[in-house]
Amino acid sequence: MTVTVHGIKVLDSGYVNLVERWGSYVRTIEAARMSTQKGFEGWGPLCSNCGHGFCEETGFCDMYPHNCNNGKAVPGDEKLLAYMYKNKHMTPFEMAGAVFEIQAPIFVFREWHRHRTQSYNEASARYAPLPDLNYVPSVERLMLNSKTNKQAGTIKDAELLTEKEAEWFREALSLQYEHQEQVYQNALKRGVPKELARCVLPVGRYSRMRASANLRNWMQFLELRDESHAQWEIREYARVVHSELRKLFPRTFALYDEAHRE
């Protein structure tokens, strides 16, 4: 089946697509200053006298010489943003966020949905059949060393996986997917309700969902899923989400990346 990628490709047939971003740094700073009612003052450097932009190259502010005797360069609201992040004052970061559409294997969604602070809506296969797209891990993925992740380890007394056995699994998995799809389609043709015909669908079948979260909760998601102990598949998705959020909110994610630099 031809795979239509609506965003950034992940795995063999998955994708991450930005639907929309909402909120802004301005809203984050405004929320942090609700008690003082100062609002957003601007990014630095600012003039210490008048609060307008300060050019460090010329040594003058935007208002000099008309309405300011000129002061010195001081940090702007980037200082407050950094203070909030470093001291875990995280509620203002809930004033901005993003919505993504994700196509991923069902077993990835089972992990993803454990993050209950996100909002989800997934294709259920109850009203429309899911496309015949199934995840087949590469030989390289199957051969990954999993000694650092006990949850991903093999069963006790299992043989050492070889490339030959990895290829066997890929072929067997593909045949199983083909058989399950035949049963699924036959069930639909025989009048089995879609909500029951879906019982045969494997956890490797690709599904789609929309996921929405504010920045605070996207960062909590990334702390667990863009991390070396996370399962490789969901980490691949988290890596793309991280990259997209970094483009949308560079100041916040510069702070995040600095704090999580390995």
Query: Residues near 89 by Cβ (< 8 Å), separated by ≥ 6?
Result: 32, 83
Residue 202 to residue 106: CA distance in whole angstroms:
8
Q: Which residues are catalytic?
A: 225
Q: What is the pLDDT of residue 4?
A: 56
β-strand partners of 120:
211
pLDDT in tens, 203-216: 999 999 999 999 99
CA 30 centroid distance within chain: 25
Query: Which residues fall within 8 angstroms of residue 197, CB to CB, at 6 or more apart?
Result: 129, 184, 187, 188
pLDDT value, residue 148: 45
* Alpha carbon distances (Å) from 209 to 97, 129, 148: 17, 14, 30
The pLDDT value recorded for residue 59 is 75
Q: Model's pTM, two decimal places? A: 0.88
Q: Which amino acid is at 123?
A: A
Tell me the angle at which helices 25-32 and 250-259 cross, rounded to the nearest 10 degrees: 70
At 151 the pLDDT is 54
DSSP state of 137: -
For the chain, counts of helices (H) and of strands (E): 9, 9
Rounded Cα distance between 62 and 64, Å, is 6
β 14-22/97-105 pair status: antiparallel
Cα torsion 47, 29, 101, 118: sign? positive
What is the Cα–Cα distance from 135 to 5, expressed in whole angstroms?
A: 15
Residue 156, Cα to own-chain centre: how many angstroms? 34
Q: Kindly state the tokens that stand for 59.
A: 């040594």
For residue 93, the SS3 value is: helix
Beta bridge partners of 213: 98
pLDDT score recorded for residue 153:
67
The confidence score (pLDDT) of residue 198 equals 92
- Predicted confidence pLDDT, tens digits, the chain (262 residues): 545 557 899 999 999 999 999 998 889 999 999 888 888 888 877 787 777 777 767 777 777 677 677 678 888 888 989 999 999 999 999 999 999 999 999 999 999 999 999 999 999 888 888 889 999 999 999 988 544 455 556 667 777 888 999 999 999 999 999 999 999 999 999 999 999 999 999 999 999 999 999 999 999 999 999 998 899 999 999 999 999 999 999 999 999 999 988 5
Query: What is the pLDDT, as a whole number, of residue 262?
Result: 55
pLDDT of res. 147: 45
Closest CA to 219 of 113, 80, 93: 93
